[in-house]
Amino acid sequence: MTTLFGIPIQALLGQLLLGLVNGSFYAMLSLGLAVIFGLLNVINFAHGALYMMGAFVAWMGLSYLGLNYWAMLVLAPLAVGAFGIVIEKLLMRHLYKLDHLYGLLLTFGLTLMIEGLFRSFYGVSGQPYPTPQALTGATNLGFMVLPNYRAWVVAASVIVCLATWYVIERTRLGALLRAGTENPRLVEAFGVNVPRMISLTYGFGVALAAFAGVLAAPVLQVSPLMGSNLIIVVFAVVVIGGMGSILGSIVTGLGLGVIEGFTKVFWPEASSTVVFIIMAIVLALRPAGLFGREK
């Protein structure tokens, strides 16, 4: 059997793929955080809880309504996105004039409420979610066996991330969004409905988190706690990458996922902390983050 650094290539590639899967979730969540932060100046702590909601809505759709994975892949982000818009309109709207920290505190409170509610109904143990029929099994690539579903997760998230990048950087809608990030009052003076743009942006960022949640459902167990542990790692990812660049968020997310995967092979004890250690190193060397600009 082929080995590299004394570890079978097969296991190494397997961990690489797992790392890419986790990295896809990091990328999608940090992308959503960056888009929301750009326009709203709010760090959305509830992002993890909404990712969890995405997974749960998919699970509920299957168990209560019999809606399959593919239907929920579209419906769950829409439902959670609508929920996000309601939150934005009811609560967050009133905090924009204040210190940015209040937005973080509000979404933190919402996180506790959402998680607490799901916990009181479903307990802390996870609910299994079956892998969709079309993606079960694995493909033998010769040098490794590729589980189809994991490959799909990575591909789907990369496509969604790149589509987001394209819309923001290359279309008129994105241009408006970027202009709104720079100077919302001027954009409003040009006749753009900025409050609606803000609502829709939040809804979109949240929908992205929910989409990641649905993708995660068959890989991880659907549990009320799946979001809160993830969101803190994603915060570290955001600090490492800086929130200035869309492509930067995507690359940082995927890259850190891969590093985490490799750490699991070579030094399992450090795998849960490696992202934080990298964050500390980056802060020491380049405080603005890899893709960030010093203000």
| H-helix segments, the chain | 9-40, 47-60, 69-90, 100-122, 148-170, 172-182, 184-189, 194-216, 226-241, 246-266, 274-285
Q: Which is nearer to other proteins, 85 or 279 (CB)?
A: 279
Among 25, 37, 56, 69, binds other proteins (CB under 8 A): 37
Stretch 202-241 residues interacting with other proteins (CB under 8 A): 228, 232-233, 235-236, 238-239
Spatial contact of 62 and 129, defined as CB atoms under 8 Å apart: yes
Q: Which amino acid is at 28?
A: M
Q: Which amino acid is at 268?
A: P
Near other proteins by CB under 8 A, which window of 19-27, 138-146, 258-266, 276-284?
276-284
Near other proteins by CB under 8 A, which window of 58-66, 69-77, 163-171, 275-283?
275-283
Among 1, 125, 185, 284, binds other proteins (CB under 8 A): 284
Stretch 63-122 residues interacting with other proteins (CB under 8 A): 91, 94-95, 98, 100-102, 104-106, 108-117, 119-120
Query: CA dist 30 to 141, 165, 251, Å?
Result: 31, 13, 10
Q: Does 137 bind other proteins (CB under 8 A)?
A: no
* Listed residue (215, 225, 230) closest to 55, CA to CA: 215
Least CB distance from residue 111 to other proteins, whole Å?
A: 7
Please tell me the distance from the alpha carbon of residue 142 to that of residue 155, in angstroms, as a whole number.
Answer: 20
By the criterion CB under 8 A, which residues form the site for other proteins?
37, 43, 91, 94-95, 98, 100-102, 104-106, 108-117, 119-120, 228, 232-233, 235-236, 238-239, 269, 272-273, 275-277, 279-280, 283-284, 287-288
